[in-house]
């Protein structure tokens, strides 16, 4: 098993939505996590042609600006992991962390194999999952609660169920995850340039046309040492009405 790595924790938050960061700080104050706030890339202000010229996006990509900004924001974190040689923990500003997050995350990370690339400590429940319970045997399905309420999240944060890392092939949502330098390199190489190339999702028995970096990340998990915490120790509100990713 790997020793628990030193992690640089980063909270991604748009400057034009300070109320989201304020709420994050309020609801997670008891956790005691030390983190840096990263000013998210505002997709409303980027020049698509410049991204094409930089090799970050294919010509004519029809993603919404919020999705493009989110991808570029996470890219900054991945580049940081590669440049520093340190694991980076990435938090979005709509996530609830369990009160025992520091202890639980240390336990989960300590149970990872030495060659791990990425582990999701939280995920969205409005989509599907594909986990490997032992080599050659997967469990696939969905969740009974698609959109946790604020009250659901409040009950979640005081839970104390032991969490373990499980090999992952598909899991959607990027509310809270840790990426190693090697994993960050693989994500950079695999997710950029951003495109709408079709991605197979066995659980859906369909090909997914990505509209965000989340889908592109899912294309990479099968060739990465990718894991997810079961149960999660972070839960997003995942309020579609308040999302800054799906904006026009």
Report if residue 16 sits inside a domain.
yes
Report if residue 245 sits inside a domain.
no
Q: Check pLDDT > 90 for residue 19.
A: yes
Per-residue pLDDT averaged across 45-63, rounded? 97
Nearest residue to 120 (alpha-carbon basis) of 174, 190, 181: 174
Which string of b and e fits 180-204 if b means at least 16 CB within 10 Å? bbbbbbbbeeebbebbbeebebebe
The vertex-74 CA angle with 66 and 110, nearest 5°, equals 140
Q: Which residues pair with 137 in a beta bridge?
A: 134
Are residues 89 and 9 in contact, defined by beta-carbon separation less than 8 angstroms?
yes
The two three-digit tokens of residue 137, written as one number: 């045997």
Cα–Cα separations (whole angstroms), residue 135 to 129, 185, 204: 17, 25, 21
The two three-digit tokens of residue 63, written as one number: 């993603």
**Range in 9-13, 40-44, 88-92, 244-248 the model is least confident about:** 244-248
CATH number of the domain at 74, please.
3.90.550
Q: Check pLDDT > 70 for residue 161.
A: yes
Per-residue pLDDT averaged across 5-28, rounded? 96
The pLDDT confidence band at residue 50, using thresholds 50, 70 and 90, is very high
Separation of alpha carbons 80 and 57, rounded Å: 20
Nearest residue to 245 (alpha-carbon basis) of 222, 216, 202, 213: 213
Per-residue pLDDT averaged across 55-62, rounded? 97
Helix (H), strand (E) at residue 133: strand 129-134
DSSP state of 5: P
Report if residue 158 sits inside a domain.
yes
Q: Which residues pair with 199 in a beta bridge?
A: 208
Other Cβ atoms less than 10 A from the Cβ of 46: the count is 16
Q: Check pLDDT > 80 for residue 248.
A: no
Confidence (pLDDT) at 96: 97
Report if residue 246 sits inside a domain.
no
Q: Check pLDDT > 90 for residue 241.
A: no
**Range in 56-60, 97-101, 114-118, 240-244 the model is least confident about:** 240-244
**Structural domains in the chain (count):** 1
Confidence (pLDDT) at 98: 98
Asked whether the whole model's pTM tops 0.85, one would answer: yes
Look-up of token digits 């997967």: 138
Report if residue 131 sits inside a domain.
yes
Separation of alpha carbons 124 and 172, rounded Å: 6
Helix (H), strand (E) at residue 140: strand 137-141
Q: Check pLDDT > 60 for residue 242.
A: no
Cα–chain center distance at 225:
15
Confidence (pLDDT) at 239: 60
Cα–chain center distance at 144:
21
Q: Which domain holds residue 226?
A: 7-236
Report if residue 99 sits inside a domain.
yes
Report if residue 36 sits inside a domain.
yes
Report if residue 248 sits inside a domain.
no
């Amino acid at each position: 098993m790997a020793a628990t790595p030193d992690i640089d924790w980063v909270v991604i938050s748009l400057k034009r939505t300070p109320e989201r960061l304020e709420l994050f700080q309020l609801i997670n104050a008891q956790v005691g996590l030390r983190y840096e706030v990263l000013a998210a890339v505002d997709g409303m202000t980027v020049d698509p042609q410049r991204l094409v010229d930089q090799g970050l996006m294919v010509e004519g990509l029809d993603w919404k600006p919020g999705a493009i900004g989110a991808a570029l924001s996470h890219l900054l974190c991945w580049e940081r992991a590669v440049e520093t040689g340190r694991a980076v923990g990435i938090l979005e500003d709509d996530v609830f962390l369990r009160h025992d997050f520091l202890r639980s995350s240390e336990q989960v990370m300590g149970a990872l194999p030495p060659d791990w690339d990425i582990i999701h400590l939280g995920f969205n429940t409005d989509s599907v999952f594909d986990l490997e319970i032992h080599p050659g045997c997967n469990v696939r399905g969905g969740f009974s609660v698609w959109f946790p309420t604020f009250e659901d999240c409040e009950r979640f944060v005081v839970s104390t169920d032991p969490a373990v890392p499980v090999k992952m092939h598909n899991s959607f949502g990027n509310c809270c995850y840790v990426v190693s330098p090697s994993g960050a390199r693989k994500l950079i190489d695999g997710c950029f340039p951003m495109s709408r190339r079709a991605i197979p999702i066995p659980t859906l028995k369909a090909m997914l046309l990505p509209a965000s970096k989340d889908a592109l990340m899912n294309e990479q998990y099968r060739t990465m040492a990718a894991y997810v915490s079961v149960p999660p120790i972070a839960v997003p509100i995942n309020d579609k009405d308040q999302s800054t990713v799906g904006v026009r």
